[in-house]
């Protein structure tokens, strides 16, 4: 039998190192970085963010007018962070054995696009801003925080928006809601224009002349992918659940999956064949 005294010492040690170990636990990786972008881990100094850098709990990501970042998390979700953006990865807990956990992030300013992974399938993803708390279930969303409030665009899935006045839910792809204050009711969902979709797609992607931190990728305009026969495009099978989702965002989603997972099996039929 283990003496009670030894058990007490072990428990005390676990309680002492637990929070520190959790704070330093890797929750994701920077898979694309355009300068200038930096990060501040909890209790650490601000450093330039580079491709392959580990992302941990309580890490703050900041981009300048020329910076942008893409993060890939352990549950295969991804977060694209646009220029002039500040975001805190507040919590990320994930058990790969049960695909359970939760993610909480805070967008202080700027624009981001979240592409769901395992956690979003359970509705366990929350993005907060000064004006609202946004829950994402099984989907993809763009969230913008600026001087005029928070704008939430639903590309696919179910988006729940809550603040001090109540809750509104968006289930239709291609609709947006604007919230202008925590104690002001969210506006009614409105169809997002093709021009706005295109604007944020370009804003959240590498610009011409940037390579995302990967040598050899300069001058590839992903926003134009598929519009000519000379563009380099990802070629995974089109997702059967993408009905109604904007084509441009589907290309970005597939590019993320293509970069982070083994190549899919050959398309034997039933996939996307063009419009």
List the Cα angle 242/109/83 in 5-degree steps: 70
- Is there a single domain that holds both residue 171 and residue 81? yes
- The answer as to whether 267 is a domain residue is no
Token pair of 262, please? 């083994």
Token pair of 101, please? 């956990």
Token pair of 84, please? 């002039």
- The answer as to whether 272 is a domain residue is no
- Is there a single domain that holds both residue 138 and residue 253? no
- Is there a single domain that holds both residue 134 and residue 228? no
- Is there a single domain that holds both residue 222 and residue 138? no
Alpha-carbon torsion, ordered 148, 153, 159, 164, to 10 deg = 10
- Is there a single domain that holds both residue 141 and residue 229? no
- Is there a single domain that holds both residue 76 and residue 173? yes
- Is there a single domain that holds both residue 185 and residue 223? no
- Is there a single domain that holds both residue 133 and residue 149? yes
- Is there a single domain that holds both residue 83 and residue 183? yes
- The answer as to whether 271 is a domain residue is no
What is the tally of structural domains in the chain?
2
What is the extent of the structural domain holding 167? 4-193
- Is there a single domain that holds both residue 134 and residue 29? yes
- Is there a single domain that holds both residue 131 and residue 227? no
Residue 36, preceding bond cis, omega within 30 degrees? Answer: yes
- Is there a single domain that holds both residue 20 and residue 101? yes
Per-residue pLDDT of the chain (275 residues), as tens digits, is: 444 444 343 334 444 444 444 456 889 999 888 888 999 988 889 999 888 899 998 999 999 998 899 999 999 999 999 999 999 999 999 998 998 999 999 999 999 999 999 999 888 999 999 999 999 998 899 999 999 999 999 998 999 999 999 999 999 999 999 999 999 999 999 999 888 888 888 888 766 555 555 555 444 444 444 444 444 444 333 343 444 444 445 545 554 444 434 344 444 443 333 33
């Amino acid at each position: 039998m283990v003496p009670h005294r030894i058990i007490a010492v072990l428990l005390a040690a676990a309680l002492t190192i637990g929070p520190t170990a959790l704070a330093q636990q890797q929750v994701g990786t920077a898979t694309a970085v355009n300068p200038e972008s930096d990060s501040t881990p909890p209790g650490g100094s601000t450093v330039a963010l580079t491709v392959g850098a580990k992302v941990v709990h309580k890490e703050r990501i900041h981009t300048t007018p020329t910076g942008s970042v893409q993060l890939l998390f352990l549950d295969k979700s991804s977060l694209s962070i646009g220029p002039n953006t500040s975001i805190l990865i507040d919590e990320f807990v994930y058990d790969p054995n049960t695909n359970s956990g939760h993610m909480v992030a805070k967008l202080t300013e700027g624009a981001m696009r979240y592409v769901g992974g395992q956690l979003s399938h359970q509705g366990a993803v929350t993005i907060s801003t000064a004006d609202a708390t946004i829950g994402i279930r099984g989907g993809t969303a763009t969230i913008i925080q600026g001087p005029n409030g928070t704008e939430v665009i639903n590309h696919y899935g179910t988006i729940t928006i809550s603040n001090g006045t109540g809750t509104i839910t968006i289930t239709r792809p291609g609709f947006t809601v604007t919230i202008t204050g925590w104690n002001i009711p969210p506006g009614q969902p409105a169809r997002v224009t093709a021009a706005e979709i295109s604007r944020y797609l370009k804003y959240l992607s590498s610009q011409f002349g940037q390579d995302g931190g990967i040598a050899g990728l300069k001058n590839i305009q992903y926003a134009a992918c598929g519009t000519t026969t000379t563009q380099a495009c990802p070629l995974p099978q089109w997702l059967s659940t993408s009905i109604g989702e904007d084509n441009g965002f589907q290309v970005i989603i597939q590019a993320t999956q293509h970069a982070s997972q083994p190549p899919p099996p050959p398309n034997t039929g039933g996939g996307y064949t063009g419009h």
